Chain A
Amino acid sequence: MRVYMPIRLPLERTYYPASRDEPEQLLCWIPPHELEALIKAGRAPARLRDEHPLGLELEVSAHALSQAGIELPAPADSLKAAYLKLRNERRLPASGYVQATYLEQGTRDNHAPLITAAADMIAEPEGVLPSGLAPEPAMSAGEEPDAAMRRLARLAEE
């Protein structure tokens, strides 16, 4: 009998790049319970509950946020700039997953200019992020994606 072993997922809102080859494209993961809270707070349309029962993943861009009808605590460009600043300062955890509340606090109060910026990441972060490695979100129990996919590929071969 095959044992079901899920892939670990962030349990809270999280920012990360689309892939290691696409660092300029920032995504946001909103787990189902946080999506529900956003809907109840009127910051997300109710249709998203049915359309994304497993959680919502969306690109952090003004266009994508407006299409989804989602309101994040900070503007898309500021979030991208804050994430890029962490990357430039080598303060990202190996997974690339950054706890949303941490990144969002880095978009307020600070006006330090961003020296290096990709073409579509020109906004300056406006807040001060505490020093050190950016914190990862709390994660569910389960396997790392690499291990899970190797296991599934092995099972399919058998």
Chain B
Amino acid sequence: MPIPCTDLLRIFILNVGQADTSVIVTPAGNVVLIDVVNARKVAGLLQSLGLLDGECISCLVITHPHSDHYSGAGAIVSKHPPRHVLLASPTHCTGTPGYHALINKVEEMRVLPMFVAGCTTIQPDGGFPERTGPVFRILGPTENMIQRLAEAKAVTPNHLSLITKMNFGEFVMVSAGDAQMENWAYFDQEGLMPGSCDLVKAAHHGSRHGTQCERLERLNPKFCVVSSDPNGRHKLPDLIGAATFHVHANSRCSAVLTCDSGTVEVRVGKAGTCTAVHYSEAADSEILFATEQPLLAVSNLTDWKALVRRRLDEP
């Protein structure tokens, strides 16, 4: 086993600027990657965790064909061949050359990429009752849903986004990619959204299209991580997004922007109890485990009110 077995599930939501990368290490030492940007940082983390060059990762999930979600994946799969690759449905949008080069590389490695429409379950640590590892449910929009949005001229590549729902004991995580409100609504209707959860990787870098206030109220997470840099070109979170997190962070949970917290790590024990730490590193710097600080239940790492005011003042 490349990474030593422990009793913990470790979830890293990396600070990669206005982009997404999550690294999940299961108790059995298997690695699941959800989106990969900044290959240098991801490779450094995998090496620190004990994964040697040439050793496999269990699963690579690319939520949708936007380069701020896959631009580092080519380098990582070249070093760490994936056993499974899950991609967004190619309905409506088949991606660009960078995405095609990644698919070519994966196929060249004799791994058949799988396009997720509906729900696909993966259990990297095995599915036997005695090995109660984490269960990942990858949710992707169906062809019908995309077609309906296309007919309404309302579809964007973000609508293809995969949502990952992961259970480990009592612990529940939702990692939302760049899901839009229609994606959430669809999976609500299908009964696939959890009633509440412990950790949310917020949708679409905290945009008003991805994260609505009522969604956060319903999920009621202990920790909410927004992977973005508000100074980035797309200026996310926007005004409404920032106000949403301001309201929610004040009253209920620790909501942080990765540009303020650095990488966030959530550690989950077998009983489902979780603690969170953060590393404060910059987007283009590597994670140093020695810089670990606890992420408090009510954190003031991100000044949401100041961001709301700044957005109000912007032209």
Q: What is the interface of chain A, defined by CB distance below 8 A to chain B?
A: 2, 4-10, 14, 16, 18-22, 27, 29, 47, 50-59, 61, 63-64, 67, 142, 145-146, 148-150, 152-153, 155-156
Contacts and interface: CB of A to CB of B under 8 A. Distances in A.
Interface residues of B, number: 38
Given A51-B40, A145-B100, A57 B71 contact: yes
A9 B104 contact: yes
Contacts of B232: 63
Contact of B75 (A7, A51, A59, A67): A51
A14 B98 CA distance: 11
A19 B110 CA distance: 28
A61 B97 contact: no
Interface stretch (B111-119, B181-189, B250-258, B266-274): B111-119
Contacts of B107: 4-6, 152
B114 A53 contact: no
A21 B74 contact: no
A148 B67 contact: no
24 contacts: A6-B104, A6-B107, A16-B97, A18-B96, A19-B93, A21-B93, A21-B155, A21-B157, A22-B156, A27-B98, A29-B96, A29-B97, A51-B39, A52-B74, A54-B75, A58-B71, A59-B67, A63-B232, A64-B233, A142-B104, A145-B90, A146-B94, A148-B103, A150-B90
Given A145-B95, A152-B113, A155-B112, A47 B40 contact: yes
For A67, A145, A155, the residue with the greatest tally of chain B CB atoms inside 10 Å of its CB is A145
Contacts, number: 115
Interface of B: 17, 38-40, 65-67, 71-72, 74-75, 78, 90, 93-105, 107-108, 110, 112-115, 155-157, 232-233
A95 B79 CA distance: 32
Contacts of B156: 19, 21-22
A61 to B, nearest CB: 6
Nearest to B94: A145
Contacts of B108: 4, 6
A146 B39 CA distance: 28
Nearest to A144: B94
A27 B114 CA distance: 26
A58 B67 CA distance: 8
Contacts of A153: 90, 115
Contacts of B66: 18
Nearest to A68: B71
